[in-house]
Amino acid sequence: MLHHTLKISLVAAACGLAFATTANAEEVTTERHQAEITTVAEGLNFPWGLAFLPNGDALITEKSGTLRRVGTDGVISTPISGVPEVVYKSQGGLLDVALDPNFAENEYVYLSYSEADPAGGPGNSTAVARGKLVGNNLQEVEVIFRGAPKYESGAHFGSRLVFSPEGYLFVTLGDRYSAMDDAQTLDNHHGKVVRIWPDGSVPEDNPFVGQDDALPEIWSYGHRNVQGAAIHPDTGKLWTVEHGPKGGDEINIPEAGANYGWPVATYGVDYDGSIISDKTHVEGTVQPHYYWVPSIATSNMIFYTGSEFPAWQGDLLVGALKGSQVARLDLEGDRVMHEETLFAEAISGRIRDIEQGPDGAIYVITDDRNGQFIRISNADD
């Protein structure tokens, strides 16, 4: 059933806020719940990352280099100042956003983005900066991580930011596409997950600390393009989801020092159908915990823990660029027991990020020039 609930908010220019949006609500039947999909805001320019402030407002990155605040009423702010300059090129730009676990005390916001070589060279890489959010400004901004080496490419930057219960910051990275073989060596950050402290320092118990020809930030390697990450609410372990090539999107549970196979082992082929590797398993590498053939073009993922959808509690929800869908994985412990495709016909646009809001609803942003910020709530009778 389609419910047309038109909401238009006009905001005076004197308030410094952009035009908020039209909202339409649509009910969708799923295996366990009726869900209502409502467009909270639109007009975002290729939004990429989403994080919620304590008051319920959302911080949303736009790939072109803009960070905005979106209110619960759908009002979109003018750009937040102080954001680092980004390389806006192909898949590069302003990427993820995350709040410090102690944000209420320290006001730190973390941003991942594609950064030009500060020395003026031709390359770029994924970087992470943090700053204090004061009003509509980021202050005391400092770069806490720079991927190495700087490499001339517009592809495969990763990148999600997620904090562990112990306070470590995990940063997921991509193999930079044409440098895919680097994912198997430890003298670079390509195709790696790294673990650092929030100030950028390296934990002493990282697996490659003190090892010659290995970068100490590296936690795991052999990844392709990891654009999703979440901490399991019961075990506290990091889970990631990464793009395969044509086939072979993977969920992994990265362990310290482990090799996840790319590109020597994969369940996919190249985009032109050619073989990247004829092996799906190589000794010394870890098999994916779960994978998709064909690909769904995974983005971010969450473990659902809210009360809005009680029958989904503990499930893993994975956003996808292909088919405008969310994959709901029914878990028993770590085992995937069942997969359900959600919202494929109700959401128009590639799902770039998925998050659980403070209200227990599910929120997604769509990857488009007229990107949408969408709320998914319970519509059970």
Active site members:
156
Phi/psi of residue 181, nearest 5 degrees: -65, -25
How far is Cα 144 from Cα 200, in angstroms, rounded to an integer?
A: 4
User: Which residues does 14 contact at the CB level (< 8 Å), separation at least 6?
Assistant: none
What is the C-alpha R_g of the chain? 20
- ∠ CA(21), CA(301), CA(230), 5° rounding? 125
For the chain, the helix, strand and coil percentages under 3-state DSSP, each to the nearest 5? 5, 40, 55
What are the angstrom distances between the C-alpha of 329 and each of 303, 333, 336?
A: 10, 12, 6
DSSP conformation class of 202: P
Give the position of tokens 């006001």: 107
Residue 150: both structure tokens together: 């700087």
Name the burial class of residue 70, with classes exposed (0-12), middle (13-18) and buried (19+) by CB atoms within 10 angstroms of its CB.
buried
